[in-house]
Amino acid sequence: MTRNERFATWLLVGGPIAVFSVWALADNTRLYLVTLLNSLTLASLYFIVASGFTLVFGLMRNVNLAHGSLYLLGGYVGYVVARETGWWIIALAAGFLAAAIAGLLIQVLILRRMQGQELRQTMVTIGLSIVIADLLLMVFTGQVHQMEAPSFLQGPIRDIPLIKAYSAYRLSLLGFGIAIGLFLWWLLNRTLVGSMIRAGVDDRAMLAAAGVNVNLVFAVTFALGAGLAGLGGVIGAVELSMVPGEDTRLLLASLIVVIVGGMGSVTGAAIGAAILGLAETYGLAYAPTYSVVFTFVILIVVLAFRPRGIMGRPA
Amino acid sequence: MNAAKWRRAMNTGPTTGPTRPLPRAATQPAKPAPDPYADSSAPRWLKALWRTVSPRHVFVLALLLLVPFVASPFVTYQVAAQSLILGLIALSLSFLAGYGGIVSLAQMTVAGIAGYAVAVLGASGTASSLGWHWGLVVPLALLIAVVCSTLVGWLSVRTDGIYTIMITLAIGVAFYYLVLQNYSVFNGFQGFQKVYPPTVWGISWRSPMPFYFLCLFWALAGYFAIQWLVRTPFGIALQGTRDNARRMNSLGFNVTATRVLAYAVSGLLAGVGGVLLVWYNGLISPGSVGTGWLINVLVIAVLGGMKHPIGAFLGAIVFILLQTFAIDLIDRERFNLVIGGVFLAIVLFSPDGLLGLWAKLRMHFGPSQVLTSTTQRR
């Protein structure tokens, strides 16, 4: 891309957004700012769930379509643990662990037997998502389950300039997203496991030849990715509530995030999540009937100009 | 370049995977039996027909024609006609996947688009329908389906393999949310009720027997169209892009155009299926194009096996039978568990579906089949 082209792209994309922002700020400052916070917090949740998805895909070329089911599983387990113990932090850990163990079992028992057959692996995860969703429906029924926010995050934060009041829990989502993003960055760039994962993304065969137990790295990564889905499930259980069907919604969000952001890239997941969160929330606030269309248009535009996503690299 | 040359070019290439199906022509016996009717004066097409039609074809056709006269209206309508319709939609996927190597999850979406077009443009129980004549509505619905399928194809063929499944799933779910949230055109959660087939030539096409024959006609048409299409130069080129897209590209074929054309063809099949499906149900709502149904189409196609067009119909029959009769054995609510389990078992143990299972059984118990290619394989 030459400098002029890049400039034109920024102008074409940024221009309308800037015009809209100026108009919306002048029209109703509070609505604009609250929507901005809403979209960034939603984006954090999307990032937490999608980063696990993209991590697994990047290393194993394995599209785990049961990711949404793992999200729901984590949420339900977290709900039960929170109800029994009353500790939200323990629920968070339990949701993470439950999904991680489920993911580990899927990887070790099923997916490992068909290593390299990507399409078949994907179909297996589709079958698993049907079965897990139905089992969860059997145990937890179709009722709406809602988790309570921990006591120290309940209620709104008041006296913020311009916005006045905003939910403390919602704001904490932003912190969660940033914390997990930083943790993943640290894990991938500063630890031995991370360097193995990065090497595996680039060239699996070479990593194995270098004497690394690739199967172990795969299992750890899959468990981590699944666990992130479960963690997202517990966090989302407070904000979005849990019903059958949420799994599909989060799966769709993860898919769009990684398609837009570029598959296998955690930075891409962050960018994609931010774009999706902004598009969805602003769409709902300013043009309710067509919010899905916005998301879809973004998907088309990105695919038309960057078929592998914004941060994607050729496989 | 003609088809025979192509077949040779394909067969000498490196196999891309263990599951690569042989071209149909290559699985036939090495030397065709001498034609006893070679010197008779019968027309050429009759001789060709005589050579290809075997007793089992006649048997299956007779069975299909007899069903509505023997079975109850319930079986004719709920089991047989529904199997044919779902088989037709699954066929559109199994054509794409089996011959083009493209697994698209948006086939039900394309069918749903055709169904919605029929409901919106034609007559229904909802006031917002335009109520046009069916002779205009049905071709328009098919056209819209083909155009949408082509667009889906144009979007998703830019990426390949595993990415396609994600993009088509995203498109399908996005369409679901669109029809769910949009009330001005798609009537939101309610959808459209009372979308019935028209009465033509004094026949009410809604009653079980005429409707069954309508479905049978289109299912057979789709089946034979695919059988014919995969042997045309386009069909052979499509199989070439499945096996080695890069080589096809360097041979001067436009891989993208071939794939997009395959999407258009599958869109037509899915569109016909969608029109029949909306008439069958008499209604269309967001639930008809939800994730469950997107995946069910894949389940049906995989269940039957994607190596031959008949697999789609086989899978549909098994699916419908499970759906109709499994609820007698277990709780109605647990149908998804059964179908998910069956799907998992098939994917885990017999990747080629029931057709693969059948081939395995035949290899073990049946008379030895000549399974070598007519052309040299290295």
Average of per-residue pLDDT across B231-240: 87
> By percentage, how much of chain A surpasses pLDDT 70?
96
Which segments of A210-290 does DSSP mark as H helices, in order? 214-239, 246-261, 266-286
- pLDDT, tens digit, for every residue of B165-175? 778 887 888 88
Tokens 């499906």 identify what position? Answer: B277
d(CA B118, CA B146): 14
State the Cα angle at A39 between A33 and A43, rounded to 5°.
145
C-alpha pair distances (Å), B12 with each of B26, B31, B243, B244, B248? 13, 20, 12, 12, 14
Dump the DSSP string for A142-189: SSPB-PPPPGGG-SEEEEETTTEEEEHHHHHHHHHHHHHHHHHHHHHH
Helix (H, G, I), strand (E, B) or coil at A120: helix
* CA distance between the termini of chain B: 22
- Which is nearest to B356 in space by CA: A110, A120, A125, A113? A120
Q: How many CB atoms lie within 10 A of CB A185?
A: 14
Task: Please tell me the predicted confidence (pLDDT) of residue B29.
Answer: 47
d(CA A250, CA A245): 9
**Is the Cβ pair B291, A248 closer than 8 Å?**
yes
Task: Please tell me the predicted confidence (pLDDT) of residue A227.
Answer: 92
Task: Please tell me the predicted confidence (pLDDT) of residue A98.
Answer: 92
Please state which of the ranges A80-89, A186-195, A287-296 shows the lowest mean pLDDT.
A287-296
Average of per-residue pLDDT across B115-128: 78
Average of per-residue pLDDT across B268-276: 90
Shortest CA gap A90–chain B (Å): 31
> Which H or E run includes B204?
strand B203-204
Helix (H, G, I), strand (E, B) or coil at A242: strand
Task: Please tell me the predicted confidence (pLDDT) of residue B308.
Answer: 82
Q: Spell out which residues of chain B touch residue A310, defining contact as CB-CB under 8 Å.
A: none
**Residue A53 corresponds to which tokens in the numbers above?**
């998805």
| Average model confidence (pLDDT) across chain B | 76
Residue A124 — pLDDT band, cuts 50, 70, 90?
confident
Helix, strand, coil % in chain B, rounded to nearest 5:
70, 0, 30
d(CA A258, CA A266): 9
ipTM of the complex: 0.74
Q: Spell out which residues of chain B touch residue A131, defining contact as CB-CB under 8 Å.
A: 336-337, 340-341, 344
DSSP A112: G
Are B268 and B108 in contact by the 8 Å Cβ rule? The answer is no
Residue A97 — pLDDT band, cuts 50, 70, 90?
very high
Helix (H, G, I), strand (E, B) or coil at B203: strand
Residue B38 — pLDDT band, cuts 50, 70, 90?
low
Q: Spell out which residues of chain A touch residue B178, defining contact as CB-CB under 8 Å.
A: 292-293, 296
Interface membership of A178 toward B (CB under 8 Å): no
Helix (H, G, I), strand (E, B) or coil at B267: helix
Average of per-residue pLDDT across B364-368: 67
Interface test with A, best of B173, B347, B350 (most A CBs within 10 A): B347
Q: Spell out which residues of chain B touch residue A68, defining contact as CB-CB under 8 Å.
A: none
Residue A23 — pLDDT band, cuts 50, 70, 90?
confident
Task: Please tell me the predicted confidence (pLDDT) of residue B305.
Answer: 80
pLDDT over threshold 90, residue A219: no
- pLDDT, tens digit, for every residue of B7-29? 554 444 444 444 444 444 444 44
d(CA B124, CA B285): 12
pLDDT over threshold 60, residue A217: yes
**Is the Cβ pair B167, A258 closer than 8 Å?**
no
Of A33 and B273, the structure prediction assigns the larger pLDDT to: B273
R_g over Cα of chain B? 21
CA B73 to chain centre: 25
Residue B37 — pLDDT band, cuts 50, 70, 90?
low
Are B171 and B159 in contact by the 8 Å Cβ rule? The answer is no
Average of per-residue pLDDT across B102-126: 84
Dump the DSSP string for B276-336: HHHHHHS-B-GGGGSHHHHHHHHHHHHHH-SSSTHHHHHHHHHHHHHHHHHHHHS-GGGHH
Task: Please tell me the predicted confidence (pLDDT) of residue A313.
Answer: 67
Are A291 and A276 in contact by the 8 Å Cβ rule? The answer is no
Of A47 and B154, the structure prediction assigns the larger pLDDT to: A47
- Which is nearest to B275 in space by CA: B98, B69, B73, B135? B135
Give the domain ranges of chain B.
Answer: 71-290
C-alpha pair distances (Å), B109 with each of A171, A236, B284, B312? 37, 29, 12, 17
CA B299 to chain centre: 12
d(CA B328, CA B351): 28
Interface membership of A310 toward B (CB under 8 Å): no
Helices B255-281 and B134-156, interaxial angle, to 10°?
A: 140
**Is the Cβ pair A138, B334 closer than 8 Å?**
yes
Interface membership of A115 toward B (CB under 8 Å): no
> By percentage, how much of chain B surpasses pLDDT 70?
78
Q: Spell out which residues of chain A touch residue B171, defining contact as CB-CB under 8 Å.
A: 296
**Positive/negative CA dihedral, A232, B172, B179, B320:** negative
Are B174 and B154 in contact by the 8 Å Cβ rule? The answer is no
Residue B51 — pLDDT band, cuts 50, 70, 90?
low
pLDDT over threshold 60, residue B33: no
Q: Spell out which residues of chain B touch residue A248, defining contact as CB-CB under 8 Å.
A: 173, 291
pLDDT over threshold 70, residue B155: yes
Q: Spell out which residues of chain A touch residue B333, defining contact as CB-CB under 8 Å.
A: 137-138
Q: Spell out which residues of chain B touch residue A117, defining contact as CB-CB under 8 Å.
A: 17, 19
- pLDDT, tens digit, for every residue of A179-212? 998 998 898 888 888 888 888 877 778 888 888 8
Interface membership of A108 toward B (CB under 8 Å): no
pLDDT over threshold 70, residue A166: yes
Task: Please tell me the predicted confidence (pLDDT) of residue B161.
Answer: 63
**Residue B332 corresponds to which tokens in the numbers above?**
């109605």
- pLDDT, tens digit, for every residue of A241-250? 777 878 888 8
Q: Which residues pair with A164 in a beta bridge?
A: A160
- Interface A–B counts its CB contacts (< 8 A) at 102
pLDDT over threshold 60, residue A24: yes
Q: Which residues pair with B284 in a beta bridge?
A: B192
pLDDT over threshold 50, residue B107: yes
Task: Please tell me the predicted confidence (pLDDT) of residue B331.
Answer: 67
d(CA B79, CA B288): 18
Q: Which residues pair with B227 in a beta bridge?
A: none
Verdict on whether the full-model pTM lies above 0.80: no
DSSP B71: S
**Is the Cβ pair A289, B347 closer than 8 Å?**
no
Q: Spell out which residues of chain A touch residue B159, defining contact as CB-CB under 8 Å.
A: 303, 307-308
Of B206 and A257, the structure prediction assigns the larger pLDDT to: A257
Interface membership of A120 toward B (CB under 8 Å): yes
d(CA A70, CA A67): 5
- pLDDT, tens digit, for every residue of B301-351? 888 888 888 888 888 888 888 877 776 776 666 777 877 888 888 888 877
φ, ψ of residue B260 in degrees (nearest 5):
-65, -40
Task: Please tell me the predicted confidence (pLDDT) of residue B26.
Answer: 44
Are A290 and A305 in contact by the 8 Å Cβ rule? The answer is no
d(CA A270, CA B277): 41
d(CA B289, CA B134): 23
Q: Which of B177, B295, B333 sits opposite A130 (nearest CB)?
A: B295
Q: Which of B158, B295, B348 sits opposite A124 (nearest CB)?
A: B348
Q: Give the nearest chain A residue to B162 (CA atoms).
A: A119
Shortest CA gap B301–chain A (Å): 12
**Is the Cβ pair A127, B333 closer than 8 Å?**
no
